[in-house]
Structure 1
């Protein structure tokens, strides 16, 4: 009795069918995990990367990877994308232009361009890839989304000058863009310390104002308690309750989670201790119980 063939038998026809199924799962059914599963099965059926006998199936494999990348991104698993793709192409130089483009755009969008720094450099440095019609556009994308945001201006200029796919006019334009980006980068570096210096005196001024207000409020509280003690028999714990409640209101309104509020809270504790010692004079200090 013959054994039944597996549902996902290896072969280009099965890979094409899995590609169509994965696209439906991605777009129509929004079942991203199942779409990734179909893409993996399709890539496995096509064999381990480029080589004799696989050239005619390169487009199907590329499309499977594109669908898989989109499905992983939809599941917020973008950190797995590069390693997931490289398990089917093994080295960055073998990545199809469309897959490389999609990876650069993805990691740029999530503000992690450094992930593609080495991969993109290896792909662009391959002599075999320089003859591809997409080489020039990918070089410009790599410059704009990876090198310039990371401040790699020297590497960007070297890459542009050594690219034979660029004519002299386009090369000058890109070198001008790199120069403009370097200028903006330096300007931001110079203005950043000045902004921090301007922010520190402002924070100290605000801290001083708030500290003075708190001290004034506690002084008024002390006077009020003394005035009331002449007419009512207040218990000492009422003083503590009112002062603690005042401290709670001030601290909560300042948002202790903010880093700028930490030094103020420290000073606030010191002020509270001093005010508390003044409010609870030895005459009204509560007795110590067991």
Structure 2
């Protein structure tokens, strides 16, 4: 049985709209937890306003933030899934879903030509929407939609650095802290952020790992490698000790979490990258099975561990 183009378009539209409107459970819980520990009255007001907007968006079924950002999809594509017209039709399917969500007001037209600044038609154009595929042995495709805000994505002054061996672990920590704090000052990255860190690989692999760490792991998730998990906790504590706080107005909660992913790398250096997810951490995930049935998923299962 082949999944029909129209059916797939509808499902991808639905998960994209959900991501733009409804905040994941772990994210809302993180806001509530932050309120209980935050001591700054200004930061508390920011957190309360976030929570009010979260509830209002669901009740009114409108976008939770006016910056609907970059339309990004992560797709785990099962080899047991057949698609009408073949896998090559998926680009058309995702484009149609994004165009429809834009026309219906669930995405603002935020995608423009980088030099002429001319708006795109329906947030669709050269390399956009961004879709990353991961082949798996399964009878379903899992789609995670990420409307990724421009502030968190673009205000990192230096998202990547190839550190020297002499820099070591302390150099990694310093680079991450410096990068995050410079982006969070004045609320440019909409903190509290989820901080993704990529270590190893080469430049684009490293930066891709940082982005996936930021957007595809739930708040509170710890890496199975004990040393990596320890570093995640140390960096989170360090970031929250800076006093930058919610929206850069001062406070004890600058980051909700830090997630690290790593890859093998060359002997000569320590590639390190940082990526931020804005406070609302928008994402939604569904599984579309080969028989056409759909299953909403609470969190993505990209890393399969």
TM-score bucket (shorter structure): under 0.3
**Greater fraction of residues in strand:** 2
Structure scoring higher RCO (CA < 8 A, sep ≥ 6) equals: 2
**TM-score, with structure 1 as normaliser:** 0.20
**TM-score, with structure 2 as normaliser:** 0.20
**Greater fraction of residues in helix:** 1
